[in-house]
Structure formats: C-alpha cells, structure tokens
Amino acid sequence: MGCTRLVYNRALAARTQAWYERQERVGYAQTSSLLTDWKKQAELDFLNDVSCVPLQQGLRHLQTAFTNFFAGRAQYPNFKKKRNGGSAEFTKSAFKWRDGKLFLAKSSEALDIRWSRAIPDNAEPSTVNVKLSPSGRWSVSLLVDIEIDPLPESPNSVGIDLGITSLIVLSTGEKVANPKGFKAKRAKLRIAQKSLSRKQKGSNNRHKSRLKVANIHAQISDARNDFLHKLTTRLVRENQTIAVEDLAVKNMIKNRKLALAISDASWGELVRQFEYKCDWYGRTLVKIDRWFPSSKRCGNCGHIVDKLPLNVREWDCPKCGTHHDRDINASKNILAAGLAVSVCGANIRPDNSRIKGQLQNTRKGKKQKPKS
C-alpha cells in the first residue's frame, strides 16, 4: 500500500512540475518510464519487492484523474496521505484464485479473509482491490462477471419524494423516517475530535485518537449504507416501476442551513443504488426533471399554486378544495409523471443520461462556460 501511494505521489509531482516549468503534459507512458528508473535507484530499491501491477494501476488511475480534470469533471488531483488509508488494484496476472482462496502476487500464503458473502459458483475474479480504510480496517473486493436473474414482474409502481424529516415518502402514503445517523453520533464525534486536537502532532497518542475519530466516522457510514441498502432492495423487489426526482444535490448543499441534514440523508447514494439495482433485476427507474412542480401541483385537478414555502406541510387546493399532505401529494405527482414517461416517452430530456426518460426542462438559461 505504501509503495502504491509513493509511486502515485511521485508521478503526480513529476507531472505538476513538468507543466509549471516547461508547460509540458506528461502522460501515462512517460510516468511508466519514470517508474522503471525509480526502481533502479538505491533508495527506492524496495519497489522491486512488491508486484508491479498495483504500481502500474496507480499510474493509470492518475491518468484517469487528469483526464477528468482536463474535461472539467473533477478538480486537480491531490496527493495521497498515509492517514487516509489507500488501495491497491491487482489485475488477473497479479493474483491466483484456487479452491476459494486468494493468493496475491509475491505472497506465498493465502489471504485470511472473513467473507461477507459467498462467491457464485464457477465465477472467476478478474480484478482484486485491496483497501485500507482510515480506521485501520482492511477489505478486499473481487470483481466477477456473472448473469443476474431478473425478478418476477410486479404489477406495482411507486413514486418517491425525497425529504429530510421523512427520508422518503411513497405514493402509497407510507413515510420512511430519516434515521439521521450523523446526528446520533455527533456528540460522541465531537468529544473524540476535541481530544484529538489536544494531542501533540506525531505522537503515538495522537495516532490512537485519530483512529478513534475514524472509527466513529466508519460507524456512521456503515449504519447509513446498511439502512439504504435494505430500503432500496425492498422497494426494488416490490415495484416494477420506480419514479424519483432528479435533484441537484451538489447545488442544494450550498445552503449552509440545510447542508448537514441533506448530506446526512445521502439522497445521491439512495438514487445511485436504485439505478444499478433496477438495472440488475429488470426494473424501470424513471428520473423526473428537477423543475417539475411536484409539490405545488394539485394531484386531483392539476392546479399549480404560485408559492408553497417549506414550512407549509399541508395545504388546500384553491381550485377544487382538496386537502393535501405536501409530501404524499408530491410523490403521487412524481408517480404520474414517471408513468407518463415510461409509457409514452413524454417530454424526454435529450441528454446523455443513462436513465430512461426525464421530463423536459422548459426553463431557459445561459449555458455555463467550461472550467479552464
């Protein structure tokens, strides 16, 4: 892990220096040649003791990071830090899979693994990713290519409105409470971080305190992911069509009053799990355009009110007099719009989205210039 981090950081420094000094773009081929030269140096001779595959994969990941940066999809790559853990990727030539045991390159003993799930029969891993988390927990991910059987077709469809007090509100009227995992651990995390700030830098006690803080963060993340996986799996199994809003979470968290609550709700991860699980099990996921007035539209007569502040949770339609729960009404409107898209392809947004059907955004605005 340390060798992979060292090679990545040296290659990043070389590419940065080449650009600032000579305005020269260094690619993967040049950094691979640099790695060969580094292995010949006496102070870096230990790089020959580990497999070359994770080192080369680290250089490829750096190339991908620069490609995303120049395309405006990401920020400039950062140096990797030891305290953040790290990862090493092994392709098929750098490991052996025998009788359910994993042998990494230049390692005579199999990894002592406590399996979280059984590997499917006759499945051969193509890539192994070894990861060290900041809390000191090791994990191994095996990539296998298998066919997933689709679920039996279901007659049910559901619209989902995302929220903070209730994480999701279904068009059936069900409300799922937000567990607020960060809020539950916030006091404990504050004490641990306060203790960490008092420790002398470089001391063993500071290292122990850092691990305590990282463990609390890991507990928050694990609890959140466990809840989201159970929730999304249940909804995918029960419904054939799922309609959700395409929210701009990245823009919404710029509101400093709601940023913490929105981040803790993890709407982006919720939708991401819906995407790949629907693709796995033969379900249909429809993303409704973010400008669709799901909350302000009356689900009975279609009337749209001019204003509906966030503190108004129930309202009466001024046209037909129907009493609405704000969130349930929004989820029903999302379902109706999603069914319209999935059935007749109404107003499909012409973008490169992987999700079938988004309602067309009728608002006009200036295009943003690409980041330089």
Residue 73, SS3 per DSSP: coil
Q: Residues 161, 246, 264, 289: which is the catalytic one?
A: 161
Pairing of strands 175-177, 166-170: antiparallel
Is the Cβ–Cβ distance between 264 and 336 less than 8 Å? no
At position 218, the amino acid (one-letter code) is A
Structure token pair of residue 228: 């989201």
For every residue of 144-197, which 3-state class applies, written as one string? CCCCCCCCCCCCCEEEEEECCCEEEEECCCCEEECCCHHHHHHHHHHHHHHHHH
Long-range own/partner contacts, residues 364-372 (CB < 8 A, 24 or more apart):
370/72, 371/72
For the question of residue 306 being annotated catalytic, the response is: no
Q: Give the Cα separation of 305 and 69 in Å (integer).
A: 42
Q: Is 161 a catalytic residue?
A: yes
∠ CA 253-257-262, nearest 5°, is 40
- Angle at the Cα of 59 from the Cα atoms of 54 and 61, rounded to 5 degrees: 90
Q: Which residue out of 246, 264, 289, 327 is catalytically annotated?
A: 327
Catalytic option among 89, 245, 246, 289: 245
Which DSSP string corresponds to 226-290? HHHHHHHHHHHHH-SEEEEE---HHHHTTSTTTHHHHHHHTHHHHHHHHHHHHHHHT-EEEEEPT
CA–CA separation, 310 and 254 (whole Å) = 17
Under 8 Å between Cβ of 181 and 224: yes
Which is nearest to 281 in space by CA: 194, 152, 116, 368? 152
C-alpha separations of 322 from 171, 313, 329 in Å = 17, 14, 11
Structure tokens at 155: 């007659």
The answer to whether 49 is a known catalytic residue is: no
Tokens of 87: 């990862």
Residues 348/357, Cβ–Cβ less than 8 Å: yes
What residues act catalytically? 161, 245, 327
